[in-house]
Structure 1
Amino acid sequence: MAKAKKVSESIVTMTELVLPHHTNQLGNLLGGQLMHWIDICAALSSSKHSQRVCVTASVDRIDFHHPIKLGDVVTLTASVNRAFKTSMEVGVKVTAESLKDGKVVHTNTAYLTFVSVDENGKPVETFEIEPETDDEKRRYEEALLRRKNRLIYRSP
């Protein structure tokens, strides 16, 4: 692919309200529910970048730094950190806002790898990514290091 796209063109923001069916017995958001939202947000970002259907290839570790409570507003922001030949690393930042006191907490960060595919589900080349800001450039460089680690630990 000849064309490169800006990181800003891949940004997707989702907002979700934590309802009772999203929580465990302690009133905290279920980890699986959050992972589902992260996967959707990242998939939309990678598809926006590649202009194709994208499938999840891998999910890096997800750390749960703070519990997300019933009634909190969860905001997920995803963007492509780096594009390789057919795959892309997408970073997702998760914050939770308590509507009771207005406090916003960064609860999670996740890195996922997506592959753009054609109508037959076969991998196809995607656009390169052009980082512009210092933060985008830092994430671009760090994505290469994470990819190298993924490839080392990938099962044969």
Structure 2
Amino acid sequence: MTDSKPVRASQTTITELMIPSYANFGGKIHGGILLSLMDKVAYACASKHAGAYCVTVTVDKVEFLQPVEVGQLVSMHASVNYVGNSSMIVGIRVEAQNVKLGTITHTNSSYFTMVAKGDDDKPTKVPKLILENEEEVRRFVEALRMKEIKTRIREALDDAKSQIELPEARELLKNERCIIDIHLL
């Protein structure tokens, strides 16, 4: 395994035609189809960088900005934005092209955290990431901050789970759109 690789070495684009069987009941491409395709491109990108089999650990910030239509060509552009010891954060930009009109629309963005696995099925070390321009540095720092924020959120939620009591919950939820209907014995 190489000690380091540039971002460009693993950048991956997958383009697929959106067919009628991908459509949901509303006539638009189902979000699950797009997520599956994003997972595929995240795997391809991460495994190219790691030189190993990779698995998806988390999917963050999935934003469906615009609907995707049957007949459009959808391109998923993936790039390794951050590497840890065995983990990588892969940024994905999804674009839909209307070939008749010649228009390209940014429809989705997402971040997939992938972990490289060795032959023993345990996490394995990945190459360092060579950052060759300011955009790559910005994305690495952004991913690092996103990782730190996720850790703080996870810790705060763990604290909240262990501390919530029914009287406090009643007060907290009194202006929310829910009804507490617990019958205590």
- How far is the alpha carbon of 1:2 from its aligned partner? 6.8
SS class of match (1:59) = strand
Q: Distance in 1 between matches of 2:64 and 2:112?
A: 16
Aligned 1:66-145 pairs, distance under 5 A: 66-145=66-145
- How far is the alpha carbon of 1:16 from its aligned partner? 0.6
- How far is the alpha carbon of 1:120 from its aligned partner? 2.6
Name the structure 1 match of 2:164: none
1:67 is aligned with what amino acid?
P
Structure 1 segments unaligned to the other structure (5+ residues): none
Cα RMSD over matched residues?
1.4
Which structure features the higher share of helix residues? 2
- How far is the alpha carbon of 1:119 from its aligned partner? 1.7
Name the structure 1 match of 2:50: 50
Deviations 1:23-64 (A, max 9, x none): 112321100000000001001100000000000011102011
Q: Distance in 2 between matches of 1:150 and 1:56?
A: 16
Q: Distance in 2 between matches of 1:79 and 1:66?
A: 21
Ranked by relative contact order (alpha carbons within 8 Å, sequence separation 6 or more), the top structure is 1
Is 1:33 the counterpart of 2:30 in the alignment?
no
Runs of 4+ in 1 over 6 A off after TM superposition: none
Q: Distance in 2 between matches of 1:30 and 1:10?
A: 28
Q: Distance in 2 between matches of 1:79 and 1:10?
A: 7
- How far is the alpha carbon of 1:3 from its aligned partner? 1.2
Aligned pair count? 156
Contact 2:61 2:109 in 1 (8 A): no
SS class of match (2:41) = helix
- How far is the alpha carbon of 1:4 from its aligned partner? 1.2
SS class of match (1:62) = strand
SS class of match (2:63) = coil
Q: Distance in 2 between matches of 1:126 and 1:154?
A: 25
Is 1:23 the counterpart of 2:23 in the alignment?
yes
Using structure 1 for the length normalisation, give the TM-score: 0.95
SS class of match (2:54) = strand
SS class of match (2:33) = helix
Name the structure 1 match of 2:150: 150
SS class of match (1:47) = helix
SS class of match (1:55) = strand
What is the percent sequence identity of the aligned residues? 36
Structure 2 segments unaligned to the other structure (5+ residues): 159-185
Q: Distance in 1 between matches of 2:137 and 2:127?
A: 17
